[in-house]
Chain A
């Protein structure tokens, strides 16, 4: 087999019918280009939407849940052990929101290898006081540095910086919705009170906007010490422990284990946000379906063009066979044309996909729901470019395979006699 000779023949065929070759290649280009754009854009969007919730949600959340005791006193009373027992109107016992022995527990968690990091929070029900109005709210006392590192809190600050909060003990990162309602702005002071009755004047060092109005209308952040002070508690008062794992998929198993081990409520991220995974996978599925459809259409285009080419080239096929080229040689001549179209069209498709991705990436996209996003999100993943070019080659090979099989079988005698 002399591939260079056969390639030179197919090259001549392609170059002497430039228009058709270009159209065939453009079909592939659009198919692959669209695939790249769709994947980049869809995954960017997925990442964005996931980020909206998943990045900010701890993989495991430990806290004290208020719920009625499972074992009631009567269960412990011997004489009725084998009897059926009814207790009506069970109410939960008043328990502390405080996690018992929190500091040793955190130290223990920090030593575990499967954990990336642990953050602690003090959650305080509170009121925002603005003139004569009182707004319900939740103040979270946080470890600013860690919250930024593990849950990218800084990305949701629309005004001010997270450093201001860290440096200002009496600072507050106010929910954007609260600020709007009380018509407060950066640098103003706001009075906050908790159920303990303590009132604190805090300086607004930043505005926080998560993109979900329900959250933004109540949630604010302060330093953990300030939250403890507001509640009148000591510095071992901690209500929530958030854990970020190395492997998110292990969260449900570990959460269950921790629940038993520590006697706390442990909620894993999968339970908390099941709907997000579904959304992502369906979006990915749609982008694949559209891209594959486009490539199939391009494949039929190539199939048609090659089929026509073979009819036009009957004479050439007969001559090649009469002068000693085997059927397989002829097949390679035509298949190589399809594959060349695939490679050239596919490569152009990658360029087109990349180009349009860059344009989309720089296109303005502003929405109140996503404060830190200024342009459309696009992911550039080498994986999609590789899949694209492989898919281009495979589909054009298949499109070329059947016509070239026909060319292989053409009997030169029929052609030569037929004239």
Chain B
């Protein structure tokens, strides 16, 4: 089994407002097609860890490998490119560009990557939306659709560049149980059918129990 993401001895210290070591020597790895959840109480550092793994937070010590490539210490332009190509994000709040259409939101990361023509990107985007059952909303302005739909649009956007890993920060935290189940099923399907790795931070026990592996965190350590 191929390792997709590997963290070695990751530590992070918050200096403001006072010096707190929020992450202590964290090491773990995620394989291809694995659906992993991170759980823990508020303030245990699970979100902080996720942002380090997502390459957005670069202020840490330790080493991070993505697709067997060392990510730590790279320039921000390189990191932007890695995020664009290899990582798909789903956040608790839906985080769509409110003034753009659903379709434009999904297409944007692919346009940035610029490996395909606009027609191909549009075709891909429609396919992703169809996969998530919201292709009929494609031309609506994204602030005009429901919360559950927004989260599915965000997932479609995360998938557009065929990333190697999808990361979620409480992706179902803001959804009712029906929509939570829909999102979970989509994730499950992506893991088994498309062999995607998923790493999801969650508070939801039921959600976590149904994933392949749970990483429990407490006081900045994995327990």
Query: Residues of A with Cβ closer than 8 Å to B?
Result: 2, 5, 9, 12-13, 16, 315-316, 318-329, 411-413, 416-417, 419
B57 touches A326 (CB 8 A): no
Name the residue on A nearest B141 (C-beta).
Answer: A16
Task: Return chain A residues, CB-CB under 8 Å to B186.
Answer: none
B97 touches A416 (CB 8 A): no
Say yes or no: B56 contacts A321, CB within 8 Å: yes
Which chain A residues lie closer than 8 Å to B98 at the CB level?
315-316
B96 close to chain A: CB less than 8 A: yes
29 A-B pairs (CB sep. < 8 Å)? A2-B111, A2-B114, A5-B108, A5-B111, A12-B100, A16-B99, A315-B95, A316-B97, A316-B98, A318-B95, A319-B95, A321-B80, A322-B54, A322-B56, A322-B89, A322-B95, A323-B84, A323-B108, A323-B109, A324-B81, A324-B83, A325-B84, A326-B76, A326-B77, A326-B80, A327-B76, A416-B51, A416-B95, A417-B47
Q: How far is the CB of A181 from chain B (nearest CB, A)?
A: 77
Judge whether B144 is part of the interface by a CB distance below 8 angstroms. Answer: no
Contacts of B57 in A (CB 8 A): 413
Which residues of chain B from 77 to 94 have a CB within 8 Å of any chain A CB?
77, 80-81, 83-85, 89, 91-93
Complex-state Cα separation, A369 to B20, whole angstroms: 84
Q: Do residues B76 and A323 form an inter-chain contact, with CB atoms below 8 A?
A: no
How many residue pairs at the A-B interface have CB separations less than 8 Å? 71
Contact yes or no, B56 A324, CB < 8 A: no
Given contacts A2-B111, A2-B112, A318-B95, contact A323 B157 (CB under 8 A): yes
Does B13 reach chain A (CB closer than 8 Å)? no
Nearest-Cβ distance from residue A320 to partner chain B, whole angstroms: 8
In the complex, the answer to whether B56 meets A12 with C-beta atoms within 8 Å is no
Number of residues from B at the complex interface, CB < 8 A: 31
Judged by a CB distance under 8 angstroms, whether B113 is at the interface is: yes
Q: How far is the CA of A327 from the CA of B75 in the complex (A)?
A: 12
Residues of the A chain whose Cβ atoms lie less than 8 Å from the Cβ of B77: 326, 328
Q: Does B169 contact A (CB under 8 A)?
A: yes
Nearest-neighbor residue (CB-CB) of B47 within chain A = A417
Determine if A323 and B83 form an interchain contact, defined as CB atoms under 8 angstroms apart.
yes
Per-residue CB proximity of B109-140 to A under 8 Å, as 1/0? Answer: 10111100000000000000000000000000
Bound-complex Cα distance A258 to B123 (A): 86
The 4 A-B residue pairs whose C-beta atoms are closest, nearest first, are: A324-B84, A326-B80, A16-B99, A323-B109
Q: Please, how many angstroms separate the alpha-carbon atoms of A328 and B76 in the complex?
A: 10
**Hey, which chain A residues are within 8 Å of B169, CB to CB?**
416
A324 and B112 within 8 A (CB):
yes
Whether A329 and B112, one on each chain, are in contact in the complex, defined by CB atoms closer than 8 angstroms, is yes
B51 and A417 within 8 A (CB)? yes
Least CB distance, B138 to chain A, in whole angstroms: 16
Q: Which residues of A contact B114 (CB under 8 A)?
A: 2, 5
Closest residue of chain B to A315 (Cβ to Cβ) is B95
Q: Inside 8 A of B95's CB, which chain A residues have their CB? A: 315, 318-319, 322, 416
Of A12, A13, A325, A417, the residue contacting B112 (CB under 8 A) is A325
Given the known A-B contacts A326-B76, A417-B51, are A412 and B56 also in contact in the complex, defined by CB atoms under 8 Å?
yes
Residue of B nearest to A325 (CB): B112
Q: How far is the CA of A13 from the CA of B97 in the complex (A)?
A: 10
Closest to B81 in A: A324
Whether B97 contacts A319 by the Cβ 8 Å rule is yes
Residues of B within 8 A of A416 (CB): 51, 91, 95, 169
Chain B minimum-CB-distance residue to A2: B114
Partner of B51, one of A13, A327, A413: A413
A412–B161 Cα distance when bound, in Å, is 20
Residues of chain B with a CB closer than 8 A to A319's CB: 95-97
